[in-house]
Amino acid sequence: MKISKICCIGAGYVGGPTMAVIAKMNPNIQVTIVDINQERIDAWNDKDVSKLPIYEPGLAEIVAETRGKNLYFSTEIDKAIDESEMIFISVNTPTKTYGKGKGMAADLKYVELCARNIADVAKTDKIVVEKSTLPVRTAQAIKSILHNTGSNVKFDILSNPEFLAEGTAIQDLLNPDRVLIGGESEEAIEALANIYGSWVPQDQILRTNVWSSELSKLTANAFLAQRISSINAISELCERTEADVSEVARAIGMDSRIGSKFLNASIGFGGSCFQKDILNLVYIARSYGLNEVADYWEQVIILNDHQKRRFSDNLISTLYNTVSGKKIAMLGWAFKKDTNDTRESAAIYVADHLLSEQANIAVYDPKVPSKKVYVDLNYLQTRSEDENKALVETFDDPYEAVKDAHAIAIMTEWDEFKTYDWKKIFNLMKKPAFIFDGRNILNKDEMTEIGFEYSSIGK
């Protein structure tokens, strides 16, 4: 089956970059990304590509090259569904905040709305591709909605989870370790494999059954997060035993069975996916009565929460057990470098903890807008919006942010932090000047030489 028009519902961190790369690599396919969020679509259509709603290295260039040629952004969802032979669902699947499974299960209402929308509009046969991360067996629900339309339209459902990492999305999409396609219909699987085949070697395109594909995505995220919690658990032990977690990570990482990636001790993982997907895995395991399986994976989250908490506890105890009225400068608000995404960022939780201890927080992040910092804190509802406004200040200049600060907390591993004039920063701060390096990016000897009281993770 030859595909000439595809659409993607959801113009977010996955839909945007993924479709931009598909459009770039398949100039003969018309790709339309639709969303209910008008503001987001307007930003995707902004003439100035530095104003795109998502920051990813290399993304603006690809959008500039393809937009208006074979890549379109629109809010006309029905029209795009009607015209396309293949429809990707790439909407958000957050953790449920209400009802059964609250705080654990994935909220599938947005996915279901998409399925109903497709069922209502489709007049010709469609291949529906699950791009969102979904609980195993979700395709069954989508199938049931689509197959009960009473029309003669044929729907094939594929699972095609996305493995890109924010911050390196474009590189990951252009050179994926693998592409995973789960489905029943060979014809539909090959139609999608052909699209990826224009730049991904066929032997890197895995074909599986739908359920393996859905479960592989949750499992991949659970394994990745587990490595971070594992090294973070060891980091606490290092701090008590004079072992150095970087040395331990290096020593174990050279074992080819273990491998060296994802072994950086830090303040803990954030982002929209790891926690949500593990909670979902735990929920699914429990719903099948697999309590040992559920407990095992839940521990990854418990350790991650502990790591964030112990970072702020350590900061407070080092500052003579009180941060009340003290200025703490936070460098970085994004959950990792090279993205403007702040979902589940460790910075939010550390700031919230310090604010509850009456600290004044100064935030600088190279890509996160000021507005977002307040939205993130207000969302927690720990205190009033006015209190957050009074206690938190954001800055466009890092040297302004650190002026008269009692301590600096490094929350994101942005490269630019390494190249700052740290002598100048030392001179601007109150003394003793403390640095809490939550990402282990600075050199301890250099910082101590300048005069800082420097502490990092796992050393």
How many CA atoms does the CB half-sphere of 296 hold within 13 Å? 9
State the minimum distance, in angstroms, from the CB of residue 368 to ligand NAI.
15
State the minimum distance, in angstroms, from the CB of residue 133 to ligand NAI.
4
Answer yes or no: 217 catalytic.
yes
Name the residues that contact ligand NAI, by CB under 6 A. Answer: 9-15, 35-37, 40, 77, 90-93, 110, 113-114, 132-133, 162, 164, 166, 272-273
The catalytic residue among 7, 8, 114, 273 is: 273
The 360-364 sheet, strands edge to edge: 392-395, 360-364, 327-331, 407-410, 434-437, 453-456
State the minimum distance, in angstroms, from the CB of residue 188 to ligand NAI.
20
- Please state, in angstroms and rounded to a whole number, the distance separating the CA atoms of residues 114 and 87: 10
Residue 199 φ then ψ, to 5°: -145, -10
Nearer to ligand NAI, 19 or 238 (CB): 19
State the minimum distance, in angstroms, from the CB of residue 167 to ligand NAI.
9
Q: Where are the alpha helices (DSSP H) in 198-260?
A: 210-241, 245-253
State the minimum distance, in angstroms, from the CB of residue 217 to ligand NAI.
7
The 86-89 sheet, strands edge to edge: 71-74, 30-34, 5-9, 86-89, 126-130, 155-159, 179-183, 205-208
State the minimum distance, in angstroms, from the CB of residue 365 to ligand NAI.
18
State the minimum distance, in angstroms, from the CB of residue 302 to ligand NAI.
21
Residue closest to ligand NAI when measured from CB atoms: 12
Answer yes or no: 273 catalytic.
yes
Nearer to ligand NAI, 10 or 101 (CB): 10
Nearer to ligand NAI, 51 or 250 (CB): 51
From start to end of 26-114, where are the E strands?
Answer: 30-34, 71-74, 86-89
Structure tokens at 84: 């396309």
Closest CA to 244 of 412, 432, 445, 435: 445
The catalytic residue among 24, 96, 126, 217 is: 217
Closest CA to 184 of 136, 133, 134, 143: 143
Nearer to ligand NAI, 335 or 454 (CB): 335
Nearer to ligand NAI, 204 or 318 (CB): 204
Nearer to ligand NAI, 319 or 347 (CB): 347
Answer yes or no: 162 catalytic.
yes
The catalytic residue among 56, 130, 162, 239 is: 162
Nearer to ligand NAI, 307 or 339 (CB): 339
Answer positive or negative: Cα dihedral of 421, 427, 430, 432: positive
- Please state, in angstroms and rounded to a whole number, the distance separating the CA atoms of residues 155 and 143: 8
- Please state, in angstroms and rounded to a whole number, the distance separating the CA atoms of residues 276 and 149: 32
- Please state, in angstroms and rounded to a whole number, the distance separating the CA atoms of residues 315 and 326: 12
Contact by Cβ (8 Å): 438, 314: no
Q: Which are the catalytic amino acids?
A: 162, 217, 273
